[in-house]
A and B are shown apart, each in its own frame.
Chain A
Amino acid sequence: MNAPGFLLVVTVAVLYSSGFYLLLQRSLMRVVFGILILGHAANLSLMLTDTAITLPPLLTGQDGQISDPLPQAMALTAIVITFGVTTFLLALAYRVWLGDDNDEVPADLEDRRIGRLTEPEDSS
């Protein structure tokens, strides 16, 4: 079996890296962008499993090797689900902005409070 093309692998690496970086940002909108890019990266990864460039998986009767339809079907599903998730996240980000006047993810107050404890609270 053939390995996928090197260029495609590099593209996937760049996409994952960019997606991760955006995911690590405090701005919710950039996090949404990160998830969008990660979605693209995942779909492209599915494409890696089908190595050679070939004809579309259509049964037209003409000869020639057609590409593997299964990853395509999976990617198709993934694209649609990513769309649903993105829209939902966008609505959430919008909502956060309505409440806070910014779309930053704040640090968890409860965690910060635990971090400030110096003495254990009563155990019982």
Chain B
Amino acid sequence: MRQIKKVAVLGAGVMGATIAGHLANAGLEVVLLDMVPREPDQEEKGKGLSLQDKAVRNRFAAKGLQGAIKGRGFYHKDYSGQIRVGNFEDDIALLKECDWVIEVVVENMDIKKSLLTEKVVPNLAEDAILSTNTSGLSVNAMAELLPAAVRRNFLVTHFFNPPRYMRLLELVPCAATDPAVLTYMAEFCRRRLGKGIVFGKDTPNFIGNRIGVFAMFNAMRHMTDLGMTVEEVDAVGGPATARASSAIFRTCDLVGNDTLVHVGKNTYELLPDDEQRETFRIPEFLQEMVAKGLLGNKVKKGFFKKEKSGISYFDFVSGEYKPAANPKFASIASAKSGDPAKRLQGVINGDDTAAAFAWRNLRDILIYTVRRMSEIADDIVNVDNALKWGFSWELGPFEMLDAIGVKSFIARAEADGVAVPDALRKIESFYKYEGDRKYVWNLGKGAYAELTVPPTQISLDILKRGGKIVESNNDASLYDLGDGVFGLEFHSKMNAIDDGTLAMIGTAVSRAEQEGVGLVIGNQGKVFSAGANLSMIAAAIKAGDFDSIERLIRTFHSALMGVKYSHIPVVAAPFNMTLGGGCEVALQADAINAHAETYMGLVEIGVGLLPAGGGTKEMALRAIAMAEPYRGDVTPAIGKLYQNIVTAKVSGSAAELADMGMLRQGDSITMDIDSLIADAKRKVLALAPTYRPGRSLENLKAPGRSVASALKSQVWNMMAGGFATEYEAEMGNVIADVITGGDVPTGTLISEHYLLELEREAFLSLCGRPKTLERIEHMLATGKPLRN
């Protein structure tokens, strides 16, 4: 079987270097090569280096790598060590060891030709895969440059910037690409790189940029027609119409206006027969902006400019910046649903300028997309995915058509006097469900086809439609994931942990114990869990109802001790935000199978509290467990884990969790978000046959007062230095006493249950302090921590 172990990336510009970074994230060995500079630069000359020195010869690749490190391209700081930098002259023979070679040099056929024919082909290993990241050149034209044996292993792998975070990867075969190679690469890039795979055709800008860039240029046209400002357009062109939070013009600033102009011009040149060709003609104001160097975020000024005095926007009429006016529209204000389809419907049915813009812009985008179908993609799923994964739209164009209703879309467009493609008239909706089967309309065939979930993935939505929910309340549901594995899904707002959640945890454990082999805790919402429900706690504090807070903590403890000491394996599948109480749930599972992009931490101090769902207890136990077998000193371990709590440290990736004592040996990381629940299920099934239940720990040697004094001295010094407030130091003292096992002499024997009691008492004590309530209320009101 083909196995990709080592990859060469040719070209160490921003894309090449960050692609290399992401390949290293996936655990691959990477060779990153670029040209040899013409001569040493000033700095190198100053060091007495010449063109003979490696440092000079590898400069481009080395600088690219440094850029990828600085740009947070790596999951873990050590991963950059998997990349070997070099140059096309001295190191090209390394290609012989590579299973995959990606060409990411400048979009110039002559340069690509000489690189491919003179350097790559002679050094390519037999049967190695060769791909290009081009989006501006024809893949078939490039294939012409290659020998037939290479052509069958040649394709486009078009990554989006930044490759670590942007899920879209467009794969485009040339005429000679072996279908098996395409299938292999799709599966490899999905599973190992976590990319969302979309198959494109050999057409300019493929799918994502073709539609996404059309949407931007079309927005500019309607903006001028309707006399709107860029700020007004962004108010409506983002989440209000189920698109990216960076909307239209902040996306331009992100991409870079020069890049946008380049893509627009390229499209205009390469698509003489496109009926919307004129849309891609660069507006005058945009040309002027580029001429003036207003390129976007990379120069800190574009359509928007952020300064100390505040944010200002570019007024394309006067050519000057004006202070942001934060425009409000009734159509948007009245459409604030969590469901993007409802939001979009609400906005286009409004009767203000924003509504008019939303409709006109979407109308044109959707018609343009329908007309492109046979040209750019095999089916609508590829198109919807391209826009969702590459442009962060919440709904793809065809999902938007379904949200609007195809019939009413046609009627309204025709009322505008806009011609509608006939293909649309036959359709009720592009997607439909029958029980747990999902069907998608194939425009070419004029019929529905079933859309199946790949065997490596699980869709909770499909299971739900198939009646696989076995228990449910307002906050959580329990699924039958098959093979005796239950799945606990949180679905409250931000998946905050509430009474309902805790009750369902208890139910989930007991049903899995009685009827199954194990339990997965995970969901397919936006975040794993943002933590405990703060508004409930705030209300109880204000009402002086400390009994209900105490009950909450007791319930928390019994639910999560139930998870930890159940007789079946429980695997948590955290992803994205996994904070506070959410983190505590994950920590007390038997194992974690996290998504690579997991931002997890015990952040309770930000709202004036301590982790009291077993989080502080768990950190104490882990520190003790690290030192105990070696009769070692618990102080450094507890010091570090304590510091994570008092600084509310959140991981920047799942890989960083190991350093935070939160990911243990045997825990695992999934790259493909859609495989997360299925991987966690597989982990349950792997653990189940040999599972040995544990029991609540006793006879633990408390680190005690002596170690607490070290922690307290540390927070006192942070306060003295102005890094922590007086109240933070006070809270730090409270937490220090809990994590060290109470105010006791070192070595006092304590138990896991006692640590939970300490957590509970400390939590209640903090709840009774006015500054904690201030912190909670500030967080609820602003979403930001208060440092009082």
Q: A and B: partners?
A: no
List residues of A whose CB falls within 8 A of some B CB.
none
List residues of B whose CB falls within 8 A of some A CB.
none
